[in-house]
Structure 1
Amino acid sequence: MSLSVTWYSHANFLLEYDGVRILIDPFFTGNPQAPCTADEIAPVDAVLVTHDHGDHVGDAVALCAKHNVPLVTIVGTAEKLQQQGVPADCIANGIGMNIGGTLEIKGVKITMTQAFHSSESGAPTGFILRFPDGTTVYHAGDTGIFSSMQLFGELYSIDVAMLPIGGVFTMDPLQAAKACELLGCSTVIPMHWGTFPVLEQNTEHFAQALAARGLNAVKMLAPEPGTAVILEK
């Protein structure tokens, strides 16, 4: 079985495995690089939100209400988004989850990790998703680098890391390359770049930073927004 990953730009990803579709940080409306609208997204099985900034919550409220699917986010942010229109029965675990915890949705184990950033409610987070075939994906959310990423790699054997490289609000290419080393990932998909003028506008500096660290074995994928890539275990 293979995992399909579609990057809709910024930190917005769709992961598809054996018919299960998980959407993370669904920022479509107001996203200048989004290749489609939220209304054009086929039904999903869960929506994950890393933190409550508008460019990450995006269209989560409307999508959860439209498709009647679980919203997975941290306690506090779950309450905030319920007040904004997510049906109460769509809040995963009733009240959300917290850092270090794991929920399972249709065979996919979703572990919430810390992130070093800001959030008006709850706390910023990332997610580690473990699929039935053993493929493990880490979506870092918005964060700076931190040494516990090495522990994530040791505990979960991460195959694919989705790491911000934009700088200013998150890790820059230099830090993201070091994060790859800490995580021990075999594939990296840079995110949170190019969306706004203040951010890194391409992946060139990140590719250079990977090479400078001797991480030639780490495969960098930079798909066009809306283009699916297939990852084989």
Structure 2
Amino acid sequence: MEFTYYGHSCFSVLAGGKRLLFDPFITGNELAKNINIEEIEADYIFVSHGHFDHILDVTVIAARTGAKVIGSWELYNYFNQQGVKDTLPLNPGGKVSLDFGVVKAVAAQHSSSFSDGSYAGTASGFIITSKDGNFYYSGDTALTLDMTLIKSFAHIDFAVFPIGDMLTMGIDDAIQAAKFVETTKVIGVHYDTFGFIKIDQEATIREFSASSIILQLPKIGDRITIEK
């Protein structure tokens, strides 16, 4: 599978011939100033929760690309009100078959609200299964024993976990999460964007390696290939 990193928790994966984009937050991220959102391709946009650093560029990218936007019931209603033309509700526990594969939404232990403070629904993660491979994006979350169920839903080729701590899992918990879902390949997100989630990247990679887990921290704009 082809993985492209756009900074913070925004990334895309080419799977089943479709471009899947997650949590678009680019124009508000100074670290991603070299990314032109007009060049980002998307067939689907998945939104894990309603915080500004996960939804900021959803409507603009959806309007240009015609991508289907998928998220919880509250996000579905919100984006409909924002004029997004193609939306699909998917709450934790729900599963849907699409033209690239199957998506199952799972619970994430995290708060979720819009910028005005209104409720944005339950935070989610997503399990994606396709002919090209399977992956788990936890969304913003704490470590939770619910993650032990992930391996029963799919064999996970790689996982995308937040590692910045303070607002989400930190390094130790993300390592444990990888063990829970039984993967040795992790891509880290949700770090360095703000002062309180900065990490020592080299030290973090070493910590994962000590647990026999390969952590990749691609630079913003990098495109990498992940084998099954």
| TM-score (norm: length of structure 1) | 0.89
Q: What's 1:129 paired with?
A: 128
> Does 1:111 pair with 2:104?
yes
Give 1:112's aligned amino acid. A
Are 2:211 and 1:224 equivalent residues in the alignment? no
Q: Unpaired runs of 5+ in structure 1?
A: none
1:195 matched residue in structure 2: 193
Q: Find runs of 4+ consecutive structure 1 residues off by over 4 angstroms.
A: none
* Contact 1:165–1:200 (Cα < 8 Å) also in 2: no
Q: Are residues 68 and 12 of structure 1, via their aligned partners in 2, closer, same or farther at CA, if it must alter by over 3 Å?
A: same
**Secondary structure of 2:8's partner?**
coil
The farther-off stretch of 76-85 and 156-165 is 76-85
Partners of 1:211 and 1:47 in 2: CA distance: 31
Equivalent residue number for residue 102 of structure 1: 95
The aligned amino acid for 2:222 is: T
Corresponding position of 2:4: 6
Residues 87-141 of structure 1 deviation map (CA, whole Å, 9 limit, x = unaligned): 2xx012xxx11111112222221110100111121111111111113x1111111
Q: Tell me how many residue pairs correspond in the alignment.
A: 221
Greater mean deviation of Cα atoms: 100-109 or 71-80: 100-109
Superposed, 1:63-82 pairs within 5 Å as 63-82=61-80
1:145 aligns with 2:179: no
**Cα offset for 1:205?**
4.2
Partner of 2:167: 169
Say whether the 8 Å CA contact 1:136–1:157 is kept in structure 2. Answer: yes
Question: How far did 1:7 drift?
Answer: 1.1
Matched residue of 1:81: which SS? helix
Shift of 1:208: 3.9
Deviation of the 1:155 alpha carbon: 2.8
CA distance in 2, matches of 1:211, 1:66: 40
- 8 Å contact 1:150–1:182 — kept in the other structure? yes
1:47 matched to which residue of 2?
Answer: 45
Q: Determine the C-alpha separation between the residues in 2 that align with 1:172 and 1:99.
A: 23
Question: CA deviation digits over 1:33-86, x for unaligned, max 9?
Answer: 2241211213x2111100011100121111112222210101011101221231
Using the size of structure 2 for normalisation, the TM-score is: 0.91
Q: Structure 2: where are the runs of 5+ without partners?
A: 114-119
